[in-house]
Amino acid sequence: MESNVITRSVNERYARAVTTGEEMCCPTGYNHDELRAFIPEPVLKVSYGCGTPVGLTTVQPGETVLDIGSGGGIDCFEASRRVGANGRVIGLDMTDEMLALARTHAPAVAGNLGYARSNVEFRKGQAEAMPVDDDSVDLIVSNCVINLSPDKEQVFREMFRVLRPGGRFSISDIVADRALPQYLIHDREKWGDCLSGSLPLHEYWHGLRTAGLLDIHQVNVMPWRVIDGYHFLSVTLTGYKMTWTPPATFAFATLTGPFSSVTDELGRTWQRGVPQPLEPRTSALLQMPRYAELFHLADTPVTFTRDDPRWREVLPEDTACAWHGDFALLTGPLLDVRDDDGHLFSCNAPTEICSKTRKVLEHPLYAPYFGMINRAGAGAGQPAGAAESDACRSSSECC
């Protein structure tokens, strides 16, 4: 399907939703009771998404926030509350009807928040060519929108361009467990349902990293739908545009676990307990939030052994394996990791796991790095059109 056909189809679908109230299923929703205190009801009724942009909880007063695919404005108005009157929010959308709705209610939201004037600006444009200045945004949020773009790699490049050095993104989207077949890719209706545009998780993550974004890791992941054996997941990812000038410079790093070995986003492999010298770029990377949980940084080499309290491992139970159709997806930021039972998990594909390995991966030390699917359930291996199941049966929140 040509890109302009996809864009026109999606645009028409969401324009229609403003007037018809069409509902489109989503895995998670908003706390409307809290938002209703300052956001008008017409905006809440068109709040489509596949997750709440949890990155907004990190917003600091005075920051600039960009919402890609701002729709009726719900996330922009929540960002407006968090950045304060001196902050700035930019909403970007391509649908005139959505923009009109958001602009209409912006003054009321400002008044409800006690602001003299609105700090939210809604701009018309596409995510592949954002009308936003270079290096001007502290935080990008997006809620089930990049999925709808026919050129996601260009969207990722635009994200990198507009972020300030040190800026971050928090995006919720729908991804697939593997490459989709042509009959789904060319299903126009399922484009609007956030399905046909889904990239495999590893391709989505690779596209962000290729654009220059790093420390890309999951905040949340959950199953959404299974269609003809293809699994769709709702995932919220966070990452950064690196500054490469961290507050401190360290000479050595030692992997503490829980993995026995890992490969970082710059391609270096680390063995638990073994110190390695650092150059400035790797020193900066390992000080990023998710990496900092895994490494001990020091000015001198520090070797860990199993009796050291900083050594972290999760050993499997001494039981037989049972196979139930479970697969694990490494969600970053690492290129690959190895557990203490010798299993190698790569960001390139789901890995089939047994029951005792699943227990390991569900441990709190492992869980933040993995998503899970089960291919033994409904739809697995069935012919086209044979099965579709939903993890979401919402009646009021939509994707």
pLDDT at 398: 35
> Is residue 258 reached through a cis peptide bond, with omega within 30 degrees of 0 on the bond before it?
yes
The Cβ of residue 298 has, within 10 Å, a number of other Cβ atoms equal to 14
Model confidence, pTM? 0.86
Alpha-carbon distance of 276 to 398, in angstroms, equals 48
The tens place of each residue's pLDDT in the chain, 399 residues long, gives 555 655 555 545 554 545 555 554 454 456 777 788 888 888 887 765 555 555 677 899 999 999 999 989 999 999 999 999 999 999 999 999 999 999 999 999 999 999 999 999 999 999 999 999 999 999 999 988 898 898 999 999 999 999 999 999 999 999 999 999 999 888 877 766 778 889 999 999 999 999 999 999 999 898 888 999 999 999 999 999 999 888 888 999 999 999 999 999 999 999 999 999 999 999 999 999 999 999 999 999 999 999 999 999 999 999 999 999 999 999 999 999 999 999 999 998 899 999 999 999 999 999 999 999 999 964 444 433 334 444 433 333 333
The Cβ of residue 19 has, within 10 Å, a number of other Cβ atoms equal to 10
204-207: long-range contacts at Cβ-Cβ below 8 A with a sequence spacing of 24 or more?
Answer: 204/152, 204/173, 204/175, 204/235, 204/237, 205/237, 205/331, 205/332, 205/347, 206/347, 207/152, 207/153, 207/156
pLDDT digit string (tens) for 216-265? 999 989 888 899 999 999 999 999 999 988 888 899 999 999 999 999 99
